[in-house]
């Protein structure tokens, strides 16, 4: 389980910046409509070059499950590490989870006006189908968009998430920045945090200073009582 993930990595340089800053995970986006989307060849290059201490997560949105499993297999074959986890960031039904050939599965859910109880109900269905995700990532809800919007979620609304989420670890995303991540961690006490647009100079291009500041702030907040 990771603490700090820099998502939407599109090139080797940004992966190296994330590692140098002390992040423990990078996310590679395969959603064609995202400005952070990369192809399989680019992903293979990043995986082959990134420092071995970085965990690598593949992010997909409503991908055909056979195509996803093929992507996992291709990247496993093209590098010594492949992808350590898959993050489902779309509207995939609970039954989809059991079909993904990934040992570690992150299920992203958007926090709507229905609150965390709706996410809990989704996890209950996953459990009945015998494939609870290994972690749930909570993102903001923006109609027609699947992450990377820069919009925060209600941190106070997540403060009692352990009562709802069946011991599934929570990863907090949605509008996190170097300036607000410490407060978000203080309020929510998540298992990990995920950032994309909050550390960019432009969509798909990370700002090394922002990455460094984000990681430093998050690490200090996680270490606080």
pLDDT digits 0-9 by tens, 103-144 = 899 999 988 877 788 899 999 999 999 999 999 999 986 655
pLDDT digits 0-9 by tens, 74-86 = 999 987 789 999 9
Model pLDDT, residue 124 = 95
H/E stretch holding 87:
strand 85-88
H/E stretch holding 77:
helix 65-78
Model pLDDT, residue 140 = 81
Tell me how far apart the terminal alpha carbons of the chain are, to the nearest angstrom.
Answer: 20
Domain ranges of the chain: 4-223
Residues 6+ apart with CB under 8 A from 134: 1, 85, 104, 105, 106, 168, 169
Among 218, 209, 89, 67, smallest CA distance to 148 is for 89
pLDDT digits 0-9 by tens, 37-89 = 999 999 999 999 999 899 999 999 999 999 999 999 999 998 778 999 999 99
Report how far residue 163's alpha carbon sits from residue 151's, in angstroms, rounded to the nearest whole number: 25
Percentage of the chain beyond pLDDT 70 is: 96
CA atoms within 13 A on the CB side of 101: 14
pLDDT above 80 for 149 = no
pLDDT above 90 for 166 = no
* Residues involved in catalysis: 7, 139
pLDDT above 60 for 91 = yes
CATH fold for domain 4-223: TIM Barrel (3.20.20)
Among 140, 180, 144, 134, smallest CA distance to 158 is for 140
Residues found in the chain: 225
Q: Which one of 7-11, 148-152, 161-165 scores highest in mean pLDDT?
A: 7-11
Model pLDDT, residue 121 = 94
Report how far residue 190's alpha carbon sits from residue 159's, in angstroms, rounded to the nearest whole number: 9
pLDDT above 70 for 28 = yes
């Amino acid at each position: 389980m990771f603490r700090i993930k820099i998502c939407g990595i599109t090139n080797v340089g940004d992966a190296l910046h994330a590692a140098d800053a002390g992040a423990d995970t990078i996310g590679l986006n395969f959603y064609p409509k995202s400005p952070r989307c990369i192809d399989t060849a680019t992903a293979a290059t990043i995986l082959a070059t990134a420092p071995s201490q970085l965990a690598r997560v593949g992010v997909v949105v409503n991908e055909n499950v056979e195509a996803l499993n093929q992507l996992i297999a291709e990247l496993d074959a093209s590098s010594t590490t492949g992808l350590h986890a898959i993050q489902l960031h779309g509207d995939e039904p609970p039954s989809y989870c059991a079909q993904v050939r990934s040992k570690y599965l992150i299920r992203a859910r958007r926090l709507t006006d229905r609150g965390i109880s709706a996410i809990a109900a989704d996890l209950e269905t996953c459990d009945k189908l015998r494939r609870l995700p290994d972690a749930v990532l909570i993102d903001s809800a923006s109609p027609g968009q699947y992450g990377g919007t820069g919009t925060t979620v209600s941190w106070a609304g997540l403060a009692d998430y352990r009562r709802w989420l069946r011991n599934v670890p929570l990863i907090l995303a949605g509008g996190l920045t170097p300036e607000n991540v410490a407060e978000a961690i203080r309020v929510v006490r998540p298992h990990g945090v995920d950032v994309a647009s909050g550390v960019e100079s432009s969509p798909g291009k990370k700002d090394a200073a922002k990455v460094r500041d984000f990681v430093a702030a998050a690490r200090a907040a996680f270490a606080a009582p």
